[in-house]
Amino acid sequence: RGILHRDIKPSNVKLMERDVVKVIDFGLVKKEGESTMTGSEGRFLGSYKYAAPEVREGKKAEAASDWYSAAVMTVELLLGQPYTKVVDPADVRSKLGKMTALPSRLRDSLELLLEEDVVVRAGNVERVKGMYGLGKVVDESVVVGELTN
């Protein structure tokens, strides 16, 4: 808990045997609240188009920032095409609303995770975790397990 990946994007997520999904490339990992996404020369670190609004504004990354990135990546997967620029959350929510074959729980979850306000999104993350029965597995086992292997 408290570890941020800070670069969630398709090339950093791999489908393993038995349909297990793993996050890889921990080169930008930091403790929550530790730093922004700019390097020593002021350049943005990570993948700008997947970054949450607060991160793009130069504010500190939070756990909810990684969840935003994962939601953007998931929407790309569902649409079958990558975004070519920074994602407009309102545009994505509009597209999600038109995906009538998408299970409503998944659509609702993605809309919650694409919230622009990080404080509201942090609460939404907890709601989404509850919707899927997620908890310590997401907070500790997945992240810490990958860091130690």
For every one of its 149 residues, what pLDDT tens digit does the chain have, with 9 covering 90 and above? 577 777 888 888 888 888 888 887 776 767 766 655 555 556 667 788 888 888 888 888 888 988 999 998 888 888 887 777 777 778 877 888 888 888 988 989 999 999 999 999 999 999 999 888 776 444 443 443 343 33
- Tell me which residue of 116, 83, 111, 86 sits closest to 97, measured CA to CA: 111
What per-residue confidence (pLDDT) applies to 1?
56
Give CA–CA dist 68/114, Å, rounded: 6
Q: Where are the alpha helices (H) located in 80-117, listed in sequence order?
A: 89-97, 104-113
What per-residue confidence (pLDDT) applies to 14?
87
What per-residue confidence (pLDDT) applies to 144?
37
Give me the sign of the Cα torsion angle 46, 52, 58, 62.
Answer: negative
Residues marked as catalytic: 7
What per-residue confidence (pLDDT) applies to 117?
93
Give kind and range of the element (H or E) at residue 14: strand 13-15
DSSP 8-state assignment for residue 59:
P
